Structure 1
Amino acid sequence: MNQEFPRGDPCTRSARAILFDMDNTLFDLVGAQVAACDSVAHHLGHNDGDELFLYFLTGSHGFESTENIRQYMEERRIPINGMFEQACRIYAREKLRYITPYPGVRKTLAAIRKRGYAMAVVTDAEHTDATLRLEKCGLASFFDCMMTYDKVGVKKPAPDPFLAALDAVSARPEEALFIGDSPRRDIEPCKHLGIRTVYARYGDRFSKTRDPIGADFVIDCMDALLSIVADIPVALSRTGP
């Protein structure tokens, strides 16, 4: 589907669903990864956790793959047998420990839920990891569903995860609002689908210009989402397709 955002004021058209990216939108995953890399490097007798984190950014193995730790160890001639599995356990434990919601997230989600919107998470994380992170932050109960990589089989910016979430909450693209930190993986695909977009600029760690590329709204803290949602009418229940 290639049509652009339908005409009309994004604040005046009603909505029935609010969709959220998870990592770096609801909480600072990058900060947690950096802290976990520090712990792993220290355990392995090195003080270059920032260098370990760079392996996660190269794209060679994936942003969350522990194969990045293996490569780091191999290039430093650190014995793999026995130590790699232990390093992975430390990384997973410390990453989860450092994950906490951004300021205002719980209050904002509670207010949105109170207004009657359906709410869903759309993430490239695996379902098990997404569940652990949301439960660690005390956010799992706010969402009606999660669309994760292992459920959909493709990652953003492919349209499939967004369309699956819309189907799960019985909403059309024009009846939804999506909040995410990545212009390329969140904002652009939603624009093409006709979903209204909120660029969570506060969580964008990777864009050089932090250009919202035509997002309908830009926020620099989660609390700012409340004033946007307050101006959007809640759609009445629909009985037809």
Structure 2
Amino acid sequence: MILLADIDNTLYDWPSFFAPSFRAMIHALAREMKVSEDQLYDEAKSVFAERGSLEYAYWIQELESAKGLETEKLRRIVEAGRGAFKSVQSRRLVAYPGVVKTLEWLSEQDVMIVGITNSSVYRAQHRLYDLKIDCFLDGLVAWEGFEPSVNDPANLGFTRSGRTRRRSRIEVERVLALTEQSCKPNEEHYLRALRLFDCSADQAWAIGDSKAKDLEPAARLGIKTIWARYGSSFNPSDRDMATLLRITPWSSSKIQSTYNKKDFEADFTIDAFEQLKSIIPQKYPTLF
């Protein structure tokens, strides 16, 4: 058997880590650049809209306020911003309750676990490592990520040629990078994972927080689906969600539609990751 597991908002809470980390970064940048935080939020939103991702790694260099800054000054600003982000991330990036123990149980049951994510290979590997759960995964299928031009003045001194952004310490052995067009909700994401491990759809389970993005494409292939309802909550008035809405080009209605797809019903619904133990068949029954 194989479990095809979404990562963000399924294994850990992405908004509760990313939003406060981003706020800390904006605060540091405003201090270093002598620019208001409101202006930086607006400029960041423009960059993210153009690049199509809130996790574009080189957005600071592409801020309107950063244009014309000499390289060494910009480097110090980038380091200050990233340092602030990482400081908060080290405290906020944690797995959901029960995830580690359940992944351990799945491994003991000889269930192969493959991460399926639209995050970049670099980001996904980095976070799996920091979450200390990479040792439980047999593979990872992720977006190939951005490849910024080394000739772009905004990236001068910040990038190197070639796909160098890989996490060498990751324990996942089989990693597959896909183009953006092949990622979820394209079922190709799941097809490639099944082929990578030579598994058929009837041997597979897919778990994710988004019915539209994670589960519907898996269901089209005949994969059994599990909705991680605990990761799908959407409250625009929540501080972290408000931060994300402030910088994303997506509207709140579009975000909500990816979770509450009313015309799709998953095979199973869970409110905690550890409830997988009552769904995935046990190969080796235990006393406790």
Conserved? CA contact 2:60–2:66, under 8 Å: no
The match for 1:86 is 79
Conserved? CA contact 2:22–2:85, under 8 Å: no
Conserved? CA contact 2:47–2:59, under 8 Å: no
The match for 1:63 is 54
The one-letter amino acid paired with 1:224 is Q
The structure, 1 or 2, with the larger RCO (C-alpha pairs under 8 Å, 6+ apart) is 1
The match for 1:8 is none
Q: CA RMSD in A?
A: 3.0
| Mapped partners of 1:39, 1:49: distance in 2 | 15
The match for 2:260 is 210
Distance 1:165 1:52, change over 3 A: farther
Conserved? CA contact 1:70–1:84, under 8 Å: no
Q: Give the total of aligned pairs.
A: 214
The match for 1:219 is 270
Aligned pair partner of 2:119 in 118, 125, 142 = 125
1:85-128 deviation digits (Å, cap 9, x = unpaired): 33652366247423110111001111111111111111112222
| Mapped partners of 1:158, 1:216: distance in 2 | 19
The one-letter amino acid paired with 1:86 is E
The one-letter amino acid paired with 1:85 is V
The one-letter amino acid paired with 2:54 is F
Conserved? CA contact 2:21–2:88, under 8 Å: yes
Aligned pair partner of 1:138 in 114, 124, 132 = 132
| Mapped partners of 1:105, 1:225: distance in 2 | 10
What SS does the corresponding residue of 2:105 show, helix, strand or coil?
Answer: helix
TM-score w.r.t. length of structure 2:
0.65
**1:21 offset after TM fit, Å?**
0.6
| Mapped partners of 2:46, 2:256: distance in 1 | 16
Report the identity percentage: 26
TM-score w.r.t. length of structure 1:
0.76
| Mapped partners of 1:175, 1:57: distance in 2 | 42
Distance 1:52 1:135, change over 3 A: farther
Distance 1:142 1:214, change over 3 A: same
The one-letter amino acid paired with 2:190 is F
| Mapped partners of 1:56, 1:180: distance in 2 | 29
Gaps of 5+ in 1: 1-15, 235-241
